[in-house]
Amino acid sequence: MRQLCRTLACAFAGCVALVGPAARGDVLVRTNGDMLVGEVVEETRKVVKFRCQVNGIWTTITLQRGQVSLLEHEEGDQSDAAAAGTTTTEPARPAAPTPKPKPRNAPHIAVIPLHGQVGGLVDGELRGTFDAGVIEHCFEQALAAGATVAVLDVHSPGGLVTEMEAISETIIAWHDRMRIVAFPDEAFSAAAVISMCCREIVIRPRGLIGAAVIIKRGPGGTSALTAKMASPHYARQRQYMEASGHAYEILQAMTIQTAELWWSPDTGCRELPPDTARDGWERLDDRTTVLTLTAEEARRIGLAIGEADGIESLADILALDADLPVIRYDEPIELYNRRLDKRLSQLRRSFENYFEGLAGIVEGLNAFAAAAQAGDRRMGEQAKATTRRAWQKSLAAARKIGRTDRSLLARRVEVPDRIIDRIEDDRKMIGRIRQLVETETIDGFNDAADRINAVLQAWRELLG
């Protein structure tokens, strides 16, 4: 039974790992059911000031306390489920705030490393990934510290489309607030789109950018997304290129295999050149390949404004003061991901406690049946106590799962609805089991055992 519950907990962990993380923040639920994700600016007994996106624009709204049904801070309670024999959980200590680079309040070059996968999880962890939330977090720190420019040091194979779009929109929203420059080494797939959302691109001498076809994963492997499903993404990409000032034809050749790309020094990039004016046109991509540009090609066709092998030469290209200090933002990103990894671990541990509690209920019921047959009243009382502790453990873990799930919604890491619904059904069943146990009869305990076995069978079917 214990092995079964460990297996169920591992299966659940796989379900959570399928969901990609994104922007960080506090969660506010209004009394009308609307959920907002952002940051608590000010909180008093009467009002809550909350900064969030409204119609795509960041703004601060003021709500009366009576208009707020739930306010979940990012550092919310993430403690393990209650120990056996208790009905409540001890509040966890608030997570330590992410250390920020020491504000210098002076001009500097902020280097933000975008290394690894775009969104999602790698081996069940966030290390080696980046998302829109951490990028905006770094932008805010850099702006507050007086950064002259934010340099996105890109080395990524790509990743989740949803996260790519969230990052793209974040960069574009910051165009008028800070100078942002992409500095790609290898920018493939989603990372290519992200780089091209910056108005300025400086590429490393051996850099590559492109190969951005949208793919889907299924039981049969990977395949290109159908035209119907991909169409909204292409429309957004046209908007991104309009905002960043780059030719959409370049990105189109990177994302659509059948698109061609022609270039002329006089006219620039086109999908197809005029039939009567092919002289002077160079075909960079045909209908059988997907475009990936080398550093020389990216610079020659005007996608990159130059090549640089380091921050010093990049500063020269950007006409920045040679004495500007350079601040790297590696640590905030690492700590940001480490904190969320801890929350994911706590969520998995809560599920382990939940299934261990279910197993403990079964063991307690079996022990009571054995005690009743043996006429051992003392053993029966111990069995009842074991059963009570087990259901308390399950119920405490269920509450913990709900709280953790709400706090992780800010990053779009969530427990699938079917699992939350299953837990709610279990809570009702456990309540009925408690009533049967209180009858202190063999029939009551047998009925309770049948019900808890039905619960475990439902989990087997749900998680496969």
Residue 167: Cβ-neighbour burial (10 angstroms; 0-12, 13-18, 19+): buried
Give the global pTM: 0.65
CA-to-CA dists, residue 178 to 83, 151, 243, 352, angstroms: 50, 11, 15, 45
Phi, psi dihedral angles at 354 (to 5 degrees): -60, -50
**CATH class of the 2-25+341-463 domain in this structure:** mainly alpha
CB atoms within 10 A of CB 440: 13
**pLDDT tens sequence for the chain (464 residues):** 555 555 555 555 555 543 433 333 566 767 765 667 677 777 887 888 887 766 555 677 888 888 886 676 644 332 232 333 333 333 344 444 444 444 446 799 999 999 999 988 777 777 788 989 889 989 998 998 899 999 999 999 999 998 999 999 999 999 999 999 999 999 999 999 999 999 999 999 999 999 999 887 655 555 567 777 888 999 999 999 999 999 999 999 999 999 999 999 888 998 887 665 567 888 999 999 999 999 999 999 999 999 999 999 999 999 999 889 999 998 888 887 777 778 778 888 888 888 888 888 888 888 888 888 888 888 888 888 888 888 888 888 888 887 765 555 444 556 777 887 888 888 888 777 777 777 767 777 778 778 888 888 888 887 76
The DSSP 8-state label assigned to residue 292 in this structure reads E
Which residue do the tokens 């299934």 mark? Answer: 355
Which residue do the tokens 């780089």 mark? Answer: 195
With b for 16 or more beta-carbon neighbours within 10 A and e for fewer, the 189-208 pattern comes to: bbbbbbbbbbbbbbbbeebb
CA-to-CA dists, residue 398 to 21, 104, 305, angstroms: 22, 45, 54
Which residue do the tokens 């950064």 mark? Answer: 147
Residue 300: Cβ-neighbour burial (10 angstroms; 0-12, 13-18, 19+): middle
Q: Which amino acid is at 37?
A: V
End-to-end CA distance of the chain: 16
Our CA angle for 348, 349, 352, nearest 5°, is: 90
SS3 43: strand
79-137 pLDDT tens trace: 232 333 333 333 344 444 444 444 446 799 999 999 999 988 777 777 788 989 889 98
**CATH class of the 108-328 domain in this structure:** alpha beta
Q: Which amino acid is at 314?
A: L
Residues 118, 190 contacting (CB under 8 angstroms): yes
CA 409 to chain centre: 9
- Judging by DSSP bridges, how do beta strands 215-218 and 221-224 pair with one another? antiparallel
Distance CA 211, CA 442 (A): 67
Q: Which helix (H) or strand (E) holds 339?
A: helix 330-374
Residues 356, 395 contacting (CB under 8 angstroms): no
Distance CA 66, CA 455 (A): 38
CA 152 to chain centre: 19
- Judging by DSSP bridges, how do beta strands 292-294 and 208-210 pair with one another? antiparallel
164 is written with which tokens? 């790519």
The predicted pLDDT at position 280 comes to: 80
Distance CA 322, CA 437 (A): 77
Q: Which residues pair with 61 in a beta bridge?
A: 50
